[in-house]
Chains A and B, each alone.
Chain A
Amino acid sequence: MTELIFFINQVVISGVVLGSIYALGAIGVTLIFGILRFAHFAHGDMMTMGAFIAFLLAMGCAALGIVTPIPTGFLVLPLAMAIAAVIALGIDKGFYAPLRKRGARPVTLLIASIGVTLMIQGLIRLFFGAGSWSFFDYGETKTIMRIDTSAIGSTRPLVFTEPQLLMVIVTIVAVVALHLFLTRSKFGKAMRAMADNADLAQVSGINTQLVVRITWLIAGALACAAGTMLALDVSLKPDLAFNIVLPIFAAAIVGGLGQSYGAIAGGFLIGFAETLAVFNWTVVLRPLAGLLPEGMMLPANLALVPTEYKLTVAFVILVVTLLVRPTGIFKGASS
């Protein structure tokens, strides 16, 4: 039982946490691709930017002496998401919309988004330096929850942090809200219609400009949520989410580009695959060590890949998916 709890602590909890962050990021990437048909490379940096917005708001709360029962980062999240959504809209207005108006091709927009990536990172470094920050350096502590599991015969407790628990709740709320928006609301359906067939959406009289704006608002807000959660789980630095933008793209492509549910599935798939790949199986297999023939021992580390190569797992899955099912799990666009 101890081994099972160890497995849950190391794989299930980390997988859910990483999967949540990938999923929320990948939804934004996939929505933007579905509506505007280009790979928005700056999405990772929109996440980082969102995290810094939440950080500033949380510091503001700390300065005002506001004490909250839950980490302030979560409390200010709705406001931070709103601000990030408006900034995302501004980024589109300032950089991408003028290019689209001139009939720029997707590759031009992709390059422009790399420019936006560098600008956002540069701006963050300008104001916050290159070092790392933490939400928990200002009086708050990261509550670690330990659930005693001796009842089921385990000597190890189930361990997770308060931000991790809240993060899962935020992800569930965000995904359910997005689902209801896409399937019940007029503009949600219009978004799906435009991703499905932009010409027909236009012919139907759908205000495609407005759909584009709504897409940026949602993508920006979700990016902020994902970035803030990542920052609360680890720490805040200018290249926080830039480092995970590739697995996020992998998640979006594996799920099927343009498919929101695919992005969620892809996010969790890649999140779990990464944590499983770096999991040290020796601990779980130790009870079976007695069965090994004389002279053979379990190696100290039986992980599939060393932790520093964790990111490659995403690409292995991506390559296999593209070979076996080029349109992704949920049959997205094949480009």
Chain B
Amino acid sequence: MALIELTDVVGGYGGAPILNGVNIAIEQSDIGVIVGPNGAGKSTTLKAIFGLLKVHSGSIVYDGRTVTNWLPDRLVPVGLSFVPQEKNVFTSMSVEENLEMGAFIRKDDFSATLASIYDMFPPLKDKRRQPAGELSGGQRQMVAMGRALMSQPKLLMLDEPSAGLSPRYVGEIFEQIVKVNQAGVGILMVEQNARQALAFASKGFVLAGGKNSFTGTGRQLLDDPDVARSFLGG
């Protein structure tokens, strides 16, 4: 059974729908990457899963239960976590406080998780008392991912984690995403660096005009001449 399965999801912010029938299925062992041209509804798909916009029809089933139009405060406790593309840290709060906010829904002792985040992103440990707003773009992205992992999710969704990062950090962030996946967290991410991301993706979804145009393994998408021509720049 899929960890999360979207079936013919149609939705938008009111007015004309942006998603016109998206189908996505991810196992907990998968890294799913959504690629496609601007305005294809990639980020919107993640937001629809996370209850940030209205789903008009279709269904979203997570871990055996229908979670269509659930709000984040119900989704986070059952194991979903989301890293938005922009404004994804609390700039006035310290790095450690940012991570604590990720563990807000937890009632148990989360110090072990905190330690594992610092192991994963060593630069954060030195800066844990520093306001997150003073960090560099790459380190902010680490804080954002760390915050999302503090709730010990089963599915981590990332909206363009490499946007605006220097090539050095892009590689580092992708490496960490693969590591998180190996630790047993399903990944569903939207990525502009399509070629690079599809190389390590186990599933790839090409969206265009708010619906799937290609679905396959990352390898299949990279090798498909049509996909290559239309979305990956030849």
Contacts and interface: CB of A to CB of B under 8 A. Distances in A.
A204 B50 contact: no
A196 B73 contact: no
A197 B88 CA distance: 9
A190 B75 CA distance: 18
Given A203-B82, A205-B77, A192 B92 contact: yes
A189 B147 contact: no
Interface string A240-279: 0000000000000000000000000000000000000000
Interface in A182-222: 186, 189-190, 192-193, 196-197, 199-208
B77 A203 contact: no
Contacts of A192: 90, 92-93, 97
A193 B90 CA distance: 6
B104 interface: yes
Given A192-B93, A204-B76, A205-B76, A199 B87 contact: yes
Given A189-B97, A189-B100, A200-B84, A205 B90 contact: no
Q: Please tell me the size bucket of the interface on B.
A: 20 to 34
Given A190-B104, A196-B92, A197-B91, A204 B97 contact: no
Q: Which of B72, B76, B97 has its CB near the most chain A CB atoms (within 10 A)?
A: B72
Interface in B92-106: 92-93, 97, 100-102, 104-105
B151 interface: yes
B31 interface: no
Contacts of B177: none
B89 A200 contact: yes
Q: Which of A193, A197, A203 has its CB near the most chain B CB atoms (within 10 A)?
A: A203
Contacts of B105: 205
A24 to B, nearest CB: 22
Nearest to B97: A189
B90 A196 contact: yes
A193 B93 contact: yes
Given A196-B90, A196-B93, A202 B72 contact: yes
Main secondary structure of the interface of A (DSSP, over half): helix
Contacts of B73: 202, 205-208
A121 to B, nearest CB: 36
A197 B104 contact: no
A186 B89 contact: no
Contacts of A197: 87, 89-91
A65 B123 CA distance: 65
Nearest to B151: A205
Nearest to B88: A200
Contacts of A201: 90, 101
Q: Which of A196, A197, A206, A208 has its CB near the most chain B CB atoms (within 10 A)?
A: A196
B26 to A, nearest CB: 19
A201 B102 CA distance: 9
Contacts of A196: 90-93
Given A192-B90, A196-B93, 15 more contacts: A186-B100, A190-B101, A192-B92, A193-B90, A197-B89, A199-B87, A202-B71, A203-B72, A203-B84, A204-B76, A204-B101, A204-B104, A204-B147, A205-B72, A205-B75
Q: Which are the 8 A-B pairs with shortest beta-carbon distances?
A: A205-B76, A205-B105, A196-B90, A193-B101, A196-B92, A206-B104, A193-B90, A204-B101
